Structure 1
């Protein structure tokens, strides 16, 4: 048995901001994927995944049945028979490893599930997001449910506010475009929960809350609008502003050895960096109007292009 593939995701804009009702834009990233498998694999990775699924079974049994219910007997039997999640999605890298797993399990075991084929009204999207939020909270405490939603639908998702999300279109990529969105590998595994708790601690300070509202959310919203409209000139202006605000106010989420590199991008305009997911390691997201220039400036670092302008 091998289940359908579920892809990783990239939250282009909105990390932390969406907790405070900023806009957000999340896109599927097909470079990484995962699927449920039962093929007798006894490697350490498969056994570890199977162990995790055993614990996850208990979590699913505690969820409110008015929200979602599962065929838990079949799920338990499959897990006992050695089922695991075979995934190429790196964990702790901010590209939605737990989201793809949650999407795969909902797809296979949820009763009365909302399918991708039906007319996805806003109500249905919000219901899916609520279900996925509860399911994914098992992995890192508090979840918006967006990662699994993106993985499940395999569509770009525009977050207008907490209660207003929609599947959206983004401008076609230009294969020969000079500009790009890229992932920069920090080489460090990040953990979501400690980063989120630093953020929540900072939120207790009035100055931080004001900065979030007046600068961070403002620039994030502008970036989302620019990206969807395809206004590249304005996008880079706003991404630079956002990059500055993040470097000033989210230092704990940026690995120490990248502070200088981050500043260098702002000063040279060769590239602008921002958080990818909760930060603390994993990938850092980069935007550049000239990929060749950015590659030279970031010589010695691993770069993966996600989108071409």
Structure 2
């Protein structure tokens, strides 16, 4: 039985993490990937990653690349039930699994591992915070602040049930690289940058309230992020999800936020009135997924 590398849920920090702001993510252990072997199978995506590692001077010395190549040609691959393009960190889990199996060094600090993961995951997204593979590699909650990284082994993983937190399935796959590129282009606007600074400050409040278990402040800050996201991240919210999103704010019965890059895939919902949320969900023919 091989080790499983879990997916992740980004509780706070969507996009603002790329500006150096804080973020908090937890493992989502019902979705993950593990190494498997099958005769005559060659995983093209892993072969592409191998070629990237070979040609990236900042990375190649950290891996046993000959072993990686030989095992890929021998039929080793990653079996996964993490949906791609859905915001659960499928590429992060790939990075964690590859690094864990083929790293050439031991005893690296979490900060050093984080830098490796940022460079690795850039292969998939063009730019990466590195938080997704950190969550998967350490199988633990991870907090990133403006100047440090924390592995939160004692963080309570029962948060989703306590907060009535669910995933909303948009039914649409998205391309993270394109979304991140579009976000970076908008940073040329001073007005947009100022809006993001306000969102980043509210994210910090949400992180603080989550770590302290302050339910009232969690709801308040989540609602504010939900409201501001409609303006700041409108391109990342599909129309069917946007209608659902706005009704939750109007009725103050549930609050939506991005789950990763947005644009499709899953969205994260903090529910105050489950019956109302389910009625609205049925109205827009969307699907809810419990995190427990």
TM-score, normalising length: structure 2: 0.93
Aligned position for 2:165: 181
* 1:210 corresponds to: 194
Deviates more, 1:252-261 or 1:89-98: 252-261
Show the counterpart of 2:96: 103
1:246 aligns with 2:250: no
Unaligned runs of 5+ residues in structure 1 are: 116-123
Change (3 A) 1:174 1:262: closer
| Secondary structure at 2:291 match in 1 | strand
Aligned to 2:48: 55
- Where does residue 273 of structure 2 map in the other structure? 290
CA–CA separation in structure 2 for the residues paired with 1:291 and 1:220: 24
RMSD (Å) for aligned C-alpha atoms: 2.0
CA–CA separation in structure 1 for the residues paired with 2:196 and 2:227: 13
Partner residue of 1:118?
none
Q: Give CA-to-partner distance per residue, 1:239-295, whole Å, 9 cap, x none.
A: 111101001121000012222211111111110000010111000110112334322
What's the CA shift string for 1:32-53, capped at 9, x where partnerless? 01012112275xxxx5xx0111
Q: Distance in 2 between the 1:217 and 1:277 partners? A: 15
Aligned length in residues = 289
Using the alignment, how far apart are the partners of 1:191 and 1:66 within structure 2? 24
Provide, for residues 109-135 of structure 1, a one-character-per-residue CA deviation record: whole Å limited to 9, x for no partner. 1111347xxxxxxxx222111001111
Q: Equivalent residue for 2:289?
A: 304
Please tell me whether the aligned partners of residues 274 and 285 of structure 1 are also in contact (alpha carbons under 8 angstroms).
yes
> CA–CA distance in 2 between the matches of 1:175 and 1:28?
11
How far apart in 1 are the matches of 2:234 and 2:193?
Answer: 16
Provide closer, same or farther for how the CA distance between residues 175 and 211 of structure 1 changes in structure 2, counting only shifts above 3 A: closer
Q: How much has 1:22 moved relative to structure 2?
A: 2.0
Shift of 1:297: 2.8
The alignment partner of 1:89 has SS state of coil
Task: State the partner residue of 1:198.
Answer: 182
1:116-195 equivalences in 2 (<5 Å): 124-161=109-146, 163-168=147-152, 169-171=154-156, 173=158, 177=162, 179-195=163-179
Q: Which runs of structure 1 show a deviation greater than 4 angstroms over 4 or more consecutive aligned residues?
A: 65-68, 174-177
Report the TM-score when normalising by structure 1.
0.88
Q: Which of 64, 71, 74 is the matching residue for 2:67?
A: 74
Determine the C-alpha separation between the residues in 2 that align with 1:218 and 1:40: 52
Structure 1's 103 and 175: CA in aligned 2 closer, same or farther, altered over 3 A?
A: closer
Q: Distance in 2 between matches of 1:176 and 1:194?
A: 33
